Structure 1
Amino acid sequence: MEWKGRRQSSNVEDQSGSGPVRGGFGRGGGFRIPMGSGRGGGLSIGTIIFLVVIYLIFKAMGIDLLQVLDGGQTGQSGYEQSQGSTQGTAEQEETKAFIRTVLAETEDTWNGIFQANGKTYREPTLVFYTGGVESACGQASSASGPFYCPGDQKVYLDTSFFDELSQRFQASGDFAQAYVVAHEVGHHVQNLLGTLPQVNEQRQGMDEASSNELSVRTELQADCYAGIWGKYTQQKGLLEQGDLEEALNAATQIGDDTLQKRTQGYVVPESFNHGTSQQRATWFKRGFDSGQLQACDTFNNPV
């Protein structure tokens, strides 16, 4: 995708690296690294003197314990370590710049579509985070993947997901990443149009199988809306050769049936809540080919 030099969205909060690292938690709470407070949290003078003596002994032997503890690697010079850190940061910042650009393109697309239909588009905020985050929808870890929270109208994204998308799910390419963002923005569009509130209300009185079926239709519509954005992006001349195939491959690789086969070796159709690989690719392509909201009615048409 041709994106460099284009407008980047200002509707972004960067919480990467801020706050405690969390893992494996849900709405009720989480695990945190103990910080050592209260009694027993400090070091005695005798302990400090002992540690200083140990440090000086190793220093006399040509071993800098502080460098070893800080870098976590031996045999690497400080220059090499700083170079690796700089390269990693530069790559992360470029990814964020790309996502900001994609978000800006979704803003342009949906502002135009809403205006053409006599409506006002309220632009969502995208939150970058690392490890775990707290939203109006509760706490979540990066293991849950990117998500949209209708409670605060924000899209949440840990950019490390893109590494997993490429390496674990074999869905590489910048337009595969763009598809993920456009899909979550598609949920925001559903929220503004009143679809998400209706779905959430209907699911409250449903059994699990019926609720999952409704969830599938909701997700497929978000895929279709992502395809609409892809259509407008193509019309701007921003797509490069292979971009559409990257998005379709990403949609295929994260289909419920493909994911279940990969993780457990068999599929349980009644447990699907996002749609099969074929369904996800089909509805993205339907939005891409038509560029019309009316083509994305997954609730009144066979999926």
Structure 2
Amino acid sequence: MRLYYSLLWLFFTLPTIAQDATSVEKDLVISQFVDGTLLVPTVDNKNILAIIIGDYGPTDRNGNQNFQKNNSLKKIANGLSKHGISSFRYDKRIVKQILKGHVNTRISFDDFVADAKAVLNHFVKQQTYSAIYIIGHGQGSLVGMLISHEDVTGFVSLAGSAKSIDQVIMEQIKQTAPGLVPDAQSAFDVLKSGKTTTNFPSALSNIFSLNTQSFMSSWMQHNPLEILKTLNIPVLIVNGTKDLQVSTDEANQLQTVSEKNTFKLITKMNHVLFIIEGGDLENSKSYNESYRPLSPELMEALIAFIK
């Protein structure tokens, strides 16, 4: 069954190559784990690079995953290119593993950070760009924070959470199954210590599966608010009022960590960066509607921050 869904996922999400007369796309192999696309403007090139880091799950360089084709990251890259800004976006390592048929179930969150560092180091060593910006979407926001130091000119958090993953999950459990809160907290306490556990209710097996515990343990060690406090570069925080996954309250928490942060709250924008006029049904369906344009306010905010 897993192979069946993997094949379907490949059919719907294989990257496509497209360019116009004002840009050139180049596929690059950064490491054994990372493949991506460099989009370089041929007109009005500003010698600036944006590295775009995708959200959770098997997200490819275009922002797509299982039955979710919205091309959100590809659209960001194209939008930047029109303003003379180069970009590099890449498949998360699980995508490459699926393509090669060798999936490592022991993958760690820190592996994603290592991949992002490898991308950054690749372009730093080239000395081609006078400025490098990191744009992290969703989970990619946390990854981006962790690599945004002396070699990075500025950092952009798109729909990034202000909470560690265990805090996010605990809040969901409190809302949906409050009786399981003590058991869930006990399991998270074990994971936070770096150990594994089998002491959890079967109702929580999708969260605490032994195959995912090491990943969860490494992910929950990182608190976005604490990491953001350490950044000494310009930061832009962007969130939408119709984001079903990250609340405006979380976005506000990120913004208030530092007076240097710039905050942009976009009315009616959802998690995949589209404008939603209707309710939750339209919102959810939009994750697989690649015909939708990105929020114009989003691109305006990105361009203004970078240039």
Q: Do Structure 1 and Structure 2 share a fold, with TM-score over 0.5?
A: no
TM-score by length of 2: 0.26
TM-score by length of 1: 0.26
Question: Which structure features the higher share of strand residues?
Answer: 2
